[in-house]
Structure 1
Amino acid sequence: SLFGSGEDQRDEAQRKEDEMVLLLKKAKLSMHRGQLQAASGFLHQAVVLAHQNHNNQAIIYTYSLMANLAYVQGQLDSAEKLFKAAMSFMLAGGTPQDDNAVIEMSLKLATIYAEQNRAELAEHGFRFCTESLEAKLEKHKELQEDEKETRLLLGLCLDSRARYRAATLHLKQAGQDYLDALNICLQEQGETHPQTLVLMSDLATILDLQGRHDDALVLVQQAVDLSRSAGHPDQHVLLGNLAGILLHTGRMDDSVRFYQEALHLARQAGDQEAVERIQEGLREVKNRRNQERTEDGKEAAP
């Protein structure tokens, strides 16, 4: 079948392509069901076929899925290598360095470095992401292009950097990043959007840590009121935060009341991590009350 060889090769390539698409579908379904081992197996098979067919798009897509999978499994070293591989294929294929997809991966890398306490790389990564996006938005402004997606990505970068800065106790810079992220979210998503409310609450936490308890209280109270009107899915998180800030301002009864409401909602939502945090808060209220009683007792003693 000398004449059919070209056709056979095309058929073979098509067969590999179909098989790869099927493997990627199976991988996504497995990830959705939480069967991460199975997903990983399907992706490893898919990436081999993508390479055999020299399908650059598929290679990039598969590597980024593998990288995300490694990341959620806490395999940070593999996630780092896979994100870098995906990025190098993108850049080699002519994708510009300030493309949103490239920046999203750079942000994931920065987050990985932050979790590994590789401070210099994390700082550099976050700065690359925010500065690239700000420059791009500046350029877009002159062209008057639609930039919602780019602005939201900038908000995400600022939010991630704020969390990193808060964790390393750079509170002033963290506060600035949260404020900038909040302003973007307010502008693009509106004041009742879940992300807006979480950012309000996070900014309140920073103000609280800086000792600005009254400012923190006003902001977190606003977030809670808006979340009640909007039926926010993470309302228990906001209420727990409000309760914590009330505790720091010495309003024990109010603190307990909101902690208990938060506890009820957290249990309903099945958010075990939040339940433990709230119980920890209630223990802190109890300790603080005992402390005050002891001090009152000492003062009352002749």
Structure 2
Amino acid sequence: MYRFRLLWTSLSPIKKINKVVPVFRSRPIPRFKYTTPVALSFSLFTWLGFQKKLSMEDELILTIKHCVLFIERGDYEKAEQLLHVALRQAQQFQHQLGITYIYDVMANLALERNQLDAAKQLFIAVTQRIMADGATEDDTRVVHISVKLARISHLKKDYQTAQIGYDWCIEKLKKALSNDPDIDILKLLSIAEDWYGRLFIECNQYEQGFKLMISALERMKQVPNVEQEHIVVQLNDIGTVSDLLGRTDESISYFQEAIQLGKKVENMELGAMYINLGRAYIKKNLLNEARKNCGYGWKLGVITKNDDVKKEAELCLNQIKNST
């Protein structure tokens, strides 16, 4: 199966996974973006049955494969150019399934590039093509796209429309999962719950957001071979929400778990997480532990040349100095 990077949970400009800067808990709303590792991206490739109808040697699928590789490398301009080549090939072959899949890849690329209006129109076109081919609104492929449309409304801050969309999709996915314990459905439900939880956080409804983010984390941990980057960032963000709810001991546990797991992930930036943990220790008046963690966060900021992390670490250290 060919996978490609897809926007996961974050809200500001996209950063590659090896340059992730997790949220700082001193901010009321998660600020930094991160992307989905390739193996966790979700597209219609499997649910369309695409690989069953095209061989690996087929000219069209080879072109699509190269498109996906460019997307994975972050070379979006080349990917977009090649996608138009692939679309012309599919239209020339009158390969309707190929056309649908290419539209889906284009839509996901537009979403990753934060081209929300273009992504919305492309996802609607994909839905129309699928339903014209006989799919109903309960079809997993339709729900799959509806989750992304809800996400687009969310990113456009049309919270009412997004909430209606998330509610509908989560209900459908839970029902589908009860009938078919499919890993792709489980992933999609986890993604939908995580996005929905962050909507509530943005609207200062922390308790409701916390519950959804916890549910998303528990589901994602059930996914075989899940990329640990996501678990690390989810743990850090849940620690952030725990702090916003005044649950300092819980936030410390989540930050510690995120750091311990993050140490096992190659190129995972942990400076901000150490600072988060340090600030939690300040609240507990454990200043030696706070100084150690904020100091190490500063060191990592220097090593990775991350000015944001260095600045936050310095603020943390000054706060400790003023508390003594």
Distance 1:31 1:153, change over 3 A: closer
Task: Give the structure-2-normalised TM-score.
Answer: 0.71
Q: Does 1:134 align with 2:165?
A: no
| C-alpha deviation, 1:39, in angstroms | 1.9
Distance 1:227 1:36, change over 3 A: closer
| C-alpha deviation, 1:261, in angstroms | 2.7
Q: 1:186 aligned to 198, 212, 221, which one?
A: 221
Match of 1:155 in 2: 190
Distance 1:232 1:165, change over 3 A: farther
- One-letter amino acid matched to 2:129: F
Preserved contact between residue 59 and residue 86 of structure 1 (Cα < 8 Å): no
Separation (CA, whole Å) in 2 of partners of 1:231 and 1:34 = 20
Preserved contact between residue 191 and residue 197 of structure 1 (Cα < 8 Å): no
- One-letter amino acid matched to 1:68: N
Give the helix-richer structure, 1 or 2.
1
Separation (CA, whole Å) in 2 of partners of 1:267 and 1:84 = 45
Preserved contact between residue 110 and residue 123 of structure 1 (Cα < 8 Å): yes
Preserved contact between residue 301 and residue 310 of structure 2 (Cα < 8 Å): no
| C-alpha deviation, 1:84, in angstroms | 1.3
Match of 2:311 in 1: 280
Q: 2:212 aligned to 173, 177, 193, which one?
A: 177
Preserved contact between residue 174 and residue 189 of structure 2 (Cα < 8 Å): yes
Separation (CA, whole Å) in 2 of partners of 1:77 and 1:129 = 21
Preserved contact between residue 20 and residue 49 of structure 1 (Cα < 8 Å): yes
| C-alpha deviation, 1:194, in angstroms | 4.2
Distance 1:223 1:28, change over 3 A: closer
Preserved contact between residue 108 and residue 119 of structure 2 (Cα < 8 Å): yes
Separation (CA, whole Å) in 2 of partners of 1:190 and 1:70 = 27
- One-letter amino acid matched to 1:93: D
Separation (CA, whole Å) in 1 of partners of 2:219 and 2:292 = 33
| C-alpha deviation, 1:31, in angstroms | 2.6
Match of 1:76 in 2: 116
Q: 1:234 aligned to 254, 268, 283, which one?
A: 268
Higher relative contact order (CA 8 A, sep 6+): 2
Separation (CA, whole Å) in 1 of partners of 2:262 and 2:253 = 14
State the superposition RMSD in angstroms. Answer: 3.1
1:79-90, aligned counterparts within 5 Å?
79-90=119-130
- One-letter amino acid matched to 1:208: D
Separation (CA, whole Å) in 1 of partners of 2:173 and 2:220 = 15
Separation (CA, whole Å) in 2 of partners of 1:286 and 1:238 = 15
* Fraction of identical pairs, as percent: 25
Preserved contact between residue 255 and residue 273 of structure 2 (Cα < 8 Å): yes
Q: Does 1:109 align with 2:146?
A: no
Distance 1:187 1:53, change over 3 A: closer
